[in-house]
Structure 1
Amino acid sequence: MISRRDLLKLTGVAGVGSTALSGYALAEAFREKVTTYNLTPPNWTPGLKLKLAVLADLHVCEPWMSVERLEIIVEQTNSLGADAILLLGDYVVGHRLGKYSGKVSNGAWATALAKLKAPLGVHAVLGNHDWWQSQDVQDRRAGPTPAGLALQAVGIPVYENNAVRLEKDGQPFWLAGLGDQWALYPLDDEYDEFVHGGKIAYRGVDDLPGTLRLITDDAPVILMAHEPDIFPVTPDRVSLTIAGHTHGGQVRIFGYAPVVPSRFGSRYSYGHIVEGGRHLIVSGGLGCSSLPIRFGSPPEIVTVQLGGAEGGEV
């Protein structure tokens, strides 16, 4: 939903575009929808019905994802009646979007997110841009990150290779959060090997085996990960992996996304993916990276209904 203030800003930018298509792509970046998935994944407890709301890739900045717009999204999310709300990272603006936008303080967007409410709480992981925001973090090649500290300051727990056991109607499940897989820029001596070799060079702080060692019983496990690239090595023990990062390609032409930031290309670009009986849901996210446009990939709030009727996107 777009506010009047943001609409005026949007109109001004679209006016300098060379085609009506550029104006449409700008406008689509402001029209979020709610996408719902209904499934009962493997290893799910019979009778356990759980509704999750997922917010990914907010990239808060002026004017594209202002605090005012974020507050509207928070209100809309609260109205969905989810049991728990999952935040999948990239709260801050992408570094390449800087010339098109103004920064918003970490405290401002975190305060807006603090208004999210759900019976089983709000839970967060960090994304690559949250790590890239601070040069000090990159220099010491370790957290904490400013974004993570901002979330914790308003009472939102941040999971980095950690897990928590929750209960719904007396039935337990685990919520696990993976450290970011693209957290650190490569060191100088790594550029030739990775960049010139055509590989993604970023170093992660993720530890999937260590995260899963924290699971102490046979209750189902939901894994939060910013990037979906972890999915091929995620074991059957995990009932469902939920990720963001890709923006659904951000620009999709007849369903095809020319650019997807993943080692696997478009394999995990968007939606409900099943491989070997394992389930992954990739959110298209809400904000923008590089350019403040979306085309064929509107921003979305995702809800996941687990233990209900089988099916895909509603």
Structure 2
Amino acid sequence: MITRRGFLRFIGGSFLSVASFSAYAVGIEPMLLTHVKRYALTPPHWPAGLKLRVVALADIHACRPWMTPERIASLAEEANALQPDLIVLLGDYIAGMRLVSQRVTPPEWAGALSGLKAPLGVVSILGNHDWWADGFAQRAEVGPTIARKALEKAGIPVLENDAVRLEKDGHGVWIAGLADQLALLPKKKHEPPRGLDDLDGTLAKISDAAPVILLAHEPDIFPKMPWRVSLTLSGHTHGGQVRLFGYSPIVPSQFGNRYAYGHVVENDRNLIVSGGLGFSNLPIRFGMRPEILQIDLG
């Protein structure tokens, strides 16, 4: 039989454990030095002799005190130091929660990202929060959003249902980018957000047999991805923000943990989902440090 003293010790220990967990998850892990998550793969129908290093940043969610312009500029320097051939930005630059001390404006975060440099350039897509935070775009149900304008003013092209052909060492490679799959908030209760993505229309713009890397903020499009696409890169999930033993309790995806995080191979098709850099809803990360992706292809 448990004694009163034993019960109080149990309660005290539980309280300290919860307090310690909360302090670490809110105050420490989100601000740890960014982890570089490295992948090396040769996707299907990848040209022999084409070696391509892609560095990806996802889900910055700029806000104070968590993701300041100074920290974003530092992330840009870290990305450059990885010596990428190409840098891709996977959406959600705008804060996704209310627990902030101050907003970071689009000119501020886009200006910090303007320091990104790579021989083949920097390309970007938008995320759901980049659309949801823009009241005018929501009412008009069309862009360009404030986020897109800020990125383009900073010299970073934005791909929304579009594709661009790059070349390295005599080999071509297509970078395709989807418009967001959750772009428009519902006008009625219990309706899901509506997407502006057009996968078929985007791939129709690819005019030769060069490999395709497709950028899609949400990974839920992956089951529809044709084998023609060598690699799909996504963000959005933040790896669940809390991840233990390869499992995330809450994942913003209709597929749950199937596409929550990491390298997924299905039917010889490849998807890599970034754990991201910032967070939405709550400023918590546990078992899922902020990360930059380094992907070596070929």
- Give, in angstroms, the shift of residue 142 of structure 1: 1.0
Task: Provide the TM-score with structure 1 as the length reference.
Answer: 0.87
Give the equivalent residue in structure 2 for 1:267.
258
> Which stretches of structure 1, 4 residues or more, deviate above 4 A after TM superposition?
none
- Give, in angstroms, the shift of residue 293 of structure 1: 1.2
Give the equivalent residue in structure 2 for 1:175.
175
Cα RMSD between the aligned structures?
A: 1.1
2: CA distance, partners of 1:211 / 1:105: 30
Give the equivalent residue in structure 2 for 1:28.
29
Deviations 1:36-67 (A, max 9, x none): 00000001111100000000000000000011
Q: Among 217, 229, 233, which residue is 1:238 paired with?
A: 229
Give the equivalent residue in structure 2 for 1:85.
87
- Give, in angstroms, the shift of residue 255 of structure 1: 2.4
In structure 1, runs of 5+ residues without a counterpart are 1-16, 195-200, 308-314
Matches within 5 A, 1:7-156: 19-26=19-26, 27-31=28-32, 32-94=34-96, 97-156=97-156
1: CA distance, partners of 2:199 / 2:101: 35
Q: In the alignment, residue 62 of structure 1 is paired with which amino acid?
A: R
Give the equivalent residue in structure 1 for 2:4.
none
Matches within 5 A, 1:283-298: 283-298=274-289
For the pair shown, the structure with the greater C-alpha radius of gyration is: 2
Q: Is the 8 A contact 2:237 2:261 kept in 1?
A: yes
2: CA distance, partners of 1:273 / 1:177: 19
2: CA distance, partners of 1:261 / 1:65: 21
Q: Is the 8 A contact 2:44 2:230 kept in 1?
A: yes
1: CA distance, partners of 2:242 / 2:207: 42
1: CA distance, partners of 2:29 / 2:116: 25
2: CA distance, partners of 1:267 / 1:18: 29
In structure 2, runs of 5+ residues without a counterpart are 1-16
SS at match of 2:64: coil
Tell me whether 1:247 sits opposite 2:238 in the alignment. Answer: yes
- Give, in angstroms, the shift of residue 171 of structure 1: 0.8
1: CA distance, partners of 2:246 / 2:84: 29
Give the equivalent residue in structure 1 for 2:164.
164
Deviations 1:101-143 (A, max 9, x none): 3201100110110110000000000000000011111111111
Task: Provide the TM-score with structure 2 as the length reference.
Answer: 0.92
- Give, in angstroms, the shift of residue 18 of structure 1: 6.5
Q: In the alignment, residue 25 of structure 2 is paired with which amino acid?
A: A
Q: Is the 8 A contact 2:137 2:143 kept in 1?
A: yes
Give the equivalent residue in structure 1 for 2:14.
none
Residue-pair matches, total: 280
